[in-house]
Amino acid sequence: MEVTTENRSPGKLFSWIERVGNKVPNPFLLFVYLIVVLMVATAIISYFDLAVKNPTNGELVRVNNLLSVAGIQWILPNIIKNFSGFTPLGSILALVIGAGLAEKVGLLQSLMVKMASRVSRRYASYMVLFIAFFSHISSDAALVVMPPLGALIFLAVGRHPVAGLLAAIAGVASGFTANLLIVTTDVLLSGISTEAAKAVSDTVHVSVIDNWFFMASSVIVLTIAGAILTDKFVEPRLPAWNGGNNDRLPPLTALENRGLKAAGIAALVFIALMALLVVPEHAPLRNPKTGGIIPSPFIQGIVPIIILFFFVVAIAYGAVTKQIRRADDIPQLLVDPMKSMAGFIVMVFPLSQFVAFFNWSNMGKFMAIGLTDMLESAGISGAPAFLGLMFLSAFLCMFIASGSAIWSILAPVFVPMFMLLGFHPAFAQMIFRIADSAVLPLAPMSPFLPLFLGFLQRYQKDAQLGTYYVLIFPYPVVFFISWIVLLLAWYALGLPIGPGVYPSLH
Query: pLDDT digit string (tens) for 178-199?
Result: 988 777 678 778 888 888 888 6
Could you give the CA distance from residue 134 to residue 129 in angstroms, rounded to a whole number? 9
Query: What is the SS3 assignment for 47?
Result: helix
Q: Using alpha carbons, list the distances in angstroms from residue 343 to 275, 290, 398, 451, 454.
A: 38, 43, 22, 9, 8
Per-residue pLDDT in tens (0 to 9) along the chain, 506 residues: 444 444 444 456 556 655 665 566 666 887 888 899 999 999 999 999 998 887 656 778 899 999 999 999 999 999 999 898 876 677 778 777 887 888 788 887 787 677 666 777 889 999 999 988 877 765 666 787 789 889 988 887 889 999 999 999 999 999 988 988 777 678 778 888 888 888 677 888 888 788 989 999 999 999 999 999 999 999 999 988 876 544 455 678 899 999 999 999 999 999 999 999 998 888 899 888 888 776 688 877 877 888 899 899 999 999 999 999 988 888 888 888 888 778 778 878 887 888 788 879 888 678 767 766 676 677 665 667 777 778 888 888 877 766 776 787 777 777 877 887 778 999 999 999 999 899 889 887 777 888 888 889 888 888 888 889 889 999 999 999 999 999 989 988 989 998 888 998 76
410-423 pLDDT per residue, tens: 777 778 778 877 78
- Residues forming a β-bridge with 51: 62
Could you give the CA distance from residue 238 to residue 241 in angstroms, rounded to a whole number? 8
Is residue 109 within 8 Å of 260, Cβ to Cβ? no
Could you give the CA distance from residue 136 to residue 379 in angstroms, rounded to a whole number? 37
Q: Measured in Å, how far apart are the chain's first and last C-alpha atoms?
A: 59
Rg over CA atoms, the chain? 24
The pTM assigned to this predicted structure is 0.67
